[in-house]
A and B are shown apart, each in its own frame.
Chain A
């Protein structure tokens, strides 16, 4: 069971913007960086955002990340059909013995 909560789905028309929230607690998001992953159908996940708001090389600036307190947000502007995928937030949870954690995942649909 995921400790980070995301909306199951979001959708918008091509060219529009979507945002995906990721809600956690002080033992995870509140005290660590958040990363975001894109998983296209039938493929392995890919790092999209790291250290809350940084993009690896090759990731377009249409993708952005932010964090405030125990929540984080992924934004996608200029939505394209190729952005249809599942998106997951992730971080480290320092409660108990420590472990990595992912969000519940959000399906982005381009209408």
Chain B
């Protein structure tokens, strides 16, 4: 079964750090881009960051750039999100998802996120 399972969430004080993990199974992890998406309480989905198959390309939403670092270990079939200098507004459920891209002629287009984990909750509060 194709699956993503997040872990590492919890309660942390403002200014603190947390490392989220996402374990992949049931597919060849190293063949796919993967993404972190978050959802603050009562709000919509927010794309956070994604990373290319070999880790050579990473993209971040402006609000986390410089504070969060996305990484992966293909040997361990795992995705990570190192979160530093946490703020109250980072409180959310964090999901990992498998990204799909498709080559159309000379262009690479974004297909969407076809597999999602169940989410892990991060609460930033004193």
Q: Could you list which residues of chain A lie within 8 angstroms of chain B, going by C-beta atoms?
A: 2, 32-33, 35, 37, 39, 44-47, 50-51, 56, 86, 88, 90-92, 97-105
Main secondary structure of the interface of B (DSSP, over half): strand
Within 8 A of A (CB), among B94-126: 95, 97, 100, 102, 109-119
Instruction: Flag the segment in B7-15, B39-47, B71-79 that touches A.
Output: B39-47
- With A33-B110, A33-B111, A88-B44 given, can you name 4 additional A-B contacts, CB distance below 8 Å? A47-B112, A50-B111, A90-B47, A100-B37
Q: Could you list which residues of chain B lie within 8 angstroms of chain A, going by C-beta atoms?
A: 35, 37, 44-47, 50, 59-61, 95, 97, 100, 102, 109-119
Main secondary structure of the interface of A (DSSP, over half): strand
- Contact for A99 among B45, B47, B109, B116, CB less than 8 A: B47
Q: Which single residue of chain B is at the shortest CB-CB distance from A28? A: B110
Is the pair B59, A98 in contact by a Cβ cutoff of 8 Å?
Answer: yes
Is the pair B113, A47 in contact by a Cβ cutoff of 8 Å?
Answer: yes
